Homo-oligomer: A and B are copies of this chain.
Amino acid sequence: MRHIEASNTRQGYPRRMKWLVTRSDQVHRDEWISIRADTCRMPDGREVGPFYVFQYPHWVNVLAVTDDQRVVLIRQYRHGLGEVVLELPGGSIEPSDEDPMDAARRELTEETCFAGGAFVKTGVLSPNPASHNNLVHCYLATDCRQVAPQALDSSEDIEVVLVPVAELRNVARTSLLQAMHVASVFLALEHLERCG
């Protein structure tokens, strides 16, 4: 163990920590999940494996604020947890998206039938760097309005929930469960406090 006094923690990542993949097998792949099993050699020479990696496209989520200062949340059943949960709109970046923001705009409109004027990226997160190979791009959209009928995937059954912006911090603290969404809300609040 080394103790490091760091003020700029982005610098100086020790390359020695990386693992070398000595074998990689696709253990499952279909329309929904893609899982790889790697055998790896650690820097000290030890072999570890199987080490599973969940392979996904990158994701987006959107903290959308309406032109009358309400936040556009959604409520839907999520079968992993087996509960109906309050979430941000979001989804996967598709090959046809030129930029993650395109996916954010599309998912917001598809899931909520709201669309926004100004989109700004507030951060990039990892769902879980131990298991997932993808990232999630977080957006803040302002001046959103209802623009179109809702168009849902066949397995989606989504309720739109509008919450006053003034309650957002409390909602993130007490009513959102999804870690990527809680983080995204606080990143958006930081952005709003720093940039107006």
Chain A contacts to B: CB under 8 angstroms: 1-7, 9-10, 13-14, 17-19, 27-28, 30, 32-33, 35, 38, 40, 42-44, 46, 48, 50-54, 73, 75-87, 113, 123-133, 135-136, 150, 154-155, 157-164, 167, 169, 171-175, 177-180, 182-183, 186-187, 190
| Inter-subunit contact A9/B160 (CB<8 Å) | no
- Of B42, B167, B177, which one neighbours A124 at CB under 8 angstroms? B177
Main secondary structure of the interface of A (DSSP, over half): mixed
Chain B residues near A48 (CB-CB < 8 A):
154-155
State the copy count for this chain.
2
Q: A81-B129, A177-B129 are in contact. Are A4 and B124 (CB under 8 A)?
A: no
